[in-house]
Amino acid sequence: MEKGGLWKRVLAEKYGIKEGYWLTCLKEGRPQGSKWWRDVCKIDQGEGIMNNWVSLGFEAKLGDGGTLKFWSDVWVGGSALSIKFPRLFLLTTDQNATVKDMGTWRNSSWHWELPWKRQLRSWEEDLEKELLEIINTTHPSQNKEDQWSWHLEISGNYTTKSAYSQLSKGVPRHEGDFKRVWKAPIPPKVSAFCWQLLHRKLPTKDNLASRGILTDIASSNCCWCDAFPESHDHIFLHCNLAYSLWIKCYKWWGVHYVMSNSCRMVLDQHKWTGGNKLIDRGWNIIWFAVVWTLWLGRNDWIFNKKEVKADCLLELVQIRSFYWAKNIAGMDGFSLQAWCENPSNCLKTTNKRKDRV
């Protein structure tokens, strides 16, 4: 295929855009906002849509910083600063500021000046330090324009071949997730929810903030502890309430794990117990029951002002997992009470039946 053929064809056929127009947009540095550009950037990988495959290959080269958005363009550190520092993004006085707006030249040396809506708290100052460490690795240059280049070719120019080979490699994917989530014996809406969770696509407050949907800093904290921003890992793992629910489940099942740092890693821990195959399958269901119960509890708290306690959540996990466990062939003949008392024992007994799954 000729150089840039894919884009030219898409733009010409779908949007009637003249050849070379996208190049002009790229040179101007701000093509991301338009509808046609967003469509071009979107690609269906079979396991979900990747919204910005183009960003895998394009790299912003910082010149004077006049056209690069400080928070939303990827110009340092490999990802947008709004995604890396959602809390600070909420606190900045101008979310659309360019890199150039965020500092000044004094005696030919560049000084970062980060304006905040209010004085930072001590833990936010730590975030600011972390941010400064990243941005201090580079600085704008005077009298030099910002540039975009295609880093998959030495020439810096886009070619279809390099784009195709990058997309074939894909972004890091967890091949087993699809089967584990969509074949699990749980209601489809729970599968859909867990799929979003594993891809960090739930409308948690930090996600809403990084997209500019939630702008109120006061309401971006976790509803349960009000001490940390509500992120996926926080509400499902690190918040005291979530953590104590996991620990209660470990006790209930008599398993011993060190809590992992991400929801996906905890799902991996729910693959295997050292017992029989049915016990493993039952233990796997618990991960789905816990994250689903935490999410419903979080929504109840936010939207219905309903307080939740770890003990009540554990009961809900037990009831949900009991009914879901019944969906697995071979798992029946035990009561809810027996399940709550000793789930492994229930599954050991049912193992006498033929496991048809």
Q: Which residues lie near Zn ion (CB under 5 A)?
A: 222, 224-225, 239
> Please, what is the minimum distance in Å from the beta carbon of residue 130 to Zn ion?
20
Kindly state the tokens that stand for 193: 């929810």
- Which two three-digit tokens encode residue 226? 């009000």
Nearer to Zn ion, 31 or 297 (CB): 297
Distance between CA atoms of 107 and 30, rounded to whole angstroms?
Answer: 30
State the minimum distance, in angstroms, from the CB of residue 241 to Zn ion. Answer: 7
User: Could you tell me the smallest distance in angstroms from the CB atom of residue 357 to Zn ion?
Assistant: 37
Task: Report DSSP letters for 30-70, one per residue.
Answer: --TTSHHHHHHH-EE-SSSEES-GGGGTEEEE-SSSSSSBT
Q: How far is CA 218 from CA 164, 209, 223, 228, in A?
A: 44, 12, 11, 11
CB of 225 to Zn ion, least distance (A): 3
Question: Which residue lies nearer to Zn ion by CB, 294 or 331?
Answer: 294
Structure tokens at 156: 């810096």
Name the nearest CA neighbour of 136 among 67, 57, 62, 72: 62
In this structure, the dihedral spanned by the alpha carbons of residues 167, 15, 13 and 5, taken in order and rounded to 10 degrees, is -40
Closest separation between CB of residue 221 and Zn ion, Å?
8
**Contact residues for 190 (Cβ-Cβ < 8 A; gap 6+):** 288, 292
What is the full DSSP assignment across 284-328?
A: HHHHHHHHHHHHHHHHHHHHH-----HHHHHHHHHHHHHHHHTTS
Q: How far is the CB of 48 from Zn ion (least distance, A)?
A: 28
Pick the closer one to Zn ion by CB: 204 or 273. Answer: 204
The minimum distance between CB 231 and Zn ion, in angstroms, equals 10
Other C-beta atoms closer than 10 Å to the C-beta of 331 total 24
Q: How far is the CB of 295 from Zn ion (least distance, A)?
A: 14
Q: Which is nearer to Zn ion, 29 or 229 (CB)?
A: 229
Place of tokens 């004077």: 64
- Which C-beta is closer to Zn ion: that of 152 or that of 291? 291
User: Smallest distance, Å, CB 239 to Zn ion?
Assistant: 3
DSSP string, 135-155: HTT----TT---EEEETTSTT
Nearer to Zn ion, 239 or 263 (CB): 239
Find residue 229's DSSP bridge partners: 221
Q: Which is nearer to Zn ion, 239 or 328 (CB)?
A: 239
One-letter amino acid of 232: H
Our CB check for Zn ion shows the closer of 244 and 351 to be 244
Comparison of 27 and 306: residue with beta carbon closer to Zn ion:
306
